[in-house]
């Protein structure tokens, strides 16, 4: 029997937010709405709007572009994909979460309208048209987010616990971006226990929080039995799940293997993919490079520092990510596209049906 992780029981987190009514500008169809979208979400979402209007972009548009054929090695319908963003909502994460939100639109667009990066006249993978997308902030101890960022005028007040892809990928991307930048009342960096409680069933013998796990109760419908599960983490510190007193109370890398075993129970057949943005030099992408960069550093010493983007050593997150064959990139990267593009490439290939 695999060793189960030690889980630190915490009291209910504070969740009091200013009661502000927000206008969901991204639902609009006016020129003013487009300007707000560009200002808040950058060129990626503006590109999505242009695609919807038939403009030329770097993305192939599937059935709308007769010159690009679907990926020839995908003979069936791609399986559904369920994507969970796990966000560190501790006090130092404002800039990192904003940078992630900028990449969400292009990431989702690439899954649904795949690129043809090598110019061979074929999409790099078959378009994925069945997505569930949710956000699990560490502040909510495993509950999926429904409150948009109260400090952004473009965010709606509340959203469903997960977004389902319909005809408008821009709405799904905008909602996800709003949810990802809300830091709530701040929190510890309990990323792995947050994800575990959000996804595991309530009858699991280990509770990854102050109550039963939520995967088959409050979150029923998000994770589907036949889906490819994608879990994306962002943090500027290491995971602190079960650590007394936070990361300084953890043994470096401890319990990573136990969490790998826990997550494999969700997808015994391997239909699981993990991506992580955390502390590491910006040129480190392999397990050896990332772990070597942590050697000799204290848990509170920066392993990367690029202005407002800083990262501490994250040996537990690194060993967990690489233990599941995932992708790991520096949270100090100039653009988080280095992770989202790598994840899209691998998810697109693995979602292909038989």
Can you read off the two tokens belonging to residue 295? 């050697």
Distance CA 65, CA 297 (A): 51
Angle between helices 337-350 and 94-112 (to 10 degrees): 30
Cα separation, 290 vs 279, in Å, equals: 9
pLDDT attached to residue 65? 43
Helix or strand holding residue 348 (H, E): helix 337-350
Can you give the pLDDT at residue 128?
A: 92
pLDDT (0 to 100) of residue 100: 95
pLDDT at 188: 78
Q: Compute the C-alpha angle 329/45/77, nearest 5°.
A: 75
Q: How far is Cα 317 from Cα 326, in angstroms, rounded to an integer? A: 11
**pLDDT for the residue 28:** 29
pLDDT in tens, 258-282: 999 999 999 998 899 999 999 999 9
Task: Identify the structural domains of the chain with CATH numbers, from first to last.
Answer: 79-350 (3.40.50.410)
φ, ψ of residue 199 in degrees (nearest 5): -110, -35
Stretches in the chain below the pLDDT threshold 70: 1-75, 166-167, 185-186, 244-253, 353-354
């Amino acid at each position: 029997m695999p060793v189960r992780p030690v889980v630190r029981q915490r009291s209910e987190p504070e969740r009091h937010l200013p009661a502000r009514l927000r206008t969901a500008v991204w639902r609009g169809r006016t020129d003013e709405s487009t300007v707000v979208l560009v200002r808040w979400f950058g060129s990626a979402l503006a590109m999505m709007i242009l695609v919807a209007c038939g403009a030329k972009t770097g993305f192939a548009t599937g059935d709308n572009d007769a010159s690009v054929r679907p990926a020839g090695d995908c003979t069936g319908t791609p399986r559904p994909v369920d994507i969970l963003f796990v966000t560190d909502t501790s006090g130092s994460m404002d800039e990192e979460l904003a940078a992630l939100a900028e990449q969400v639109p292009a990431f989702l667009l690439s899954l649904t309208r795949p690129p043809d990066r090598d110019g061979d006249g074929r999409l790099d993978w078959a378009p994925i048209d069945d997505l569930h997308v949710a956000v699990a902030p560490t502040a909510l101890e495993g509950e999926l987010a429904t409150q948009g960022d109260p400090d952004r005028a473009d965010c709606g007040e509340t959203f469903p616990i997960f977004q389902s892809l319909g005809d408008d990928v821009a709405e799904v991307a905008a909602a996800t971006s709003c949810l990802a930048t809300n830091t709530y009342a701040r929190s510890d960096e309990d990323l792995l226990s947050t994800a575990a409680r959000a996804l595991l069933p309530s009858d699991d013998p280990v509770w990854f929080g102050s109550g039963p796990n939520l995967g088959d109760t409050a979150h029923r419908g998000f994770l589907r039995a036949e889906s490819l599960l994608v879990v994306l983490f962002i943090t500027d510190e290491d995971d602190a799940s079960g650590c007394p007193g936070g990361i300084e109370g953890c043994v470096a890398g401890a319990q990573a293997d136990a969490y790998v075993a826990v997550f494999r129970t969700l997808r015994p057949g391997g239909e699981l993919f993990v991506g992580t943005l955390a502390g590491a030099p910006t040129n480190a992408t392999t397990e050896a490079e990332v772990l070597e960069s942590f050697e000799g550093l204290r848990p509170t010493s920066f392993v990367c520092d690029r202005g407002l983007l800083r990262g501490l050593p994250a040996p537990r997150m690194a060993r967990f990510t690489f233990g599941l064959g995932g992708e790991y990139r520096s949270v100090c990267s100039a653009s988080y596209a280095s992770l989202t593009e790598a994840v899209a490439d691998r998810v697109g290939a693995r979602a292909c049906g038989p």
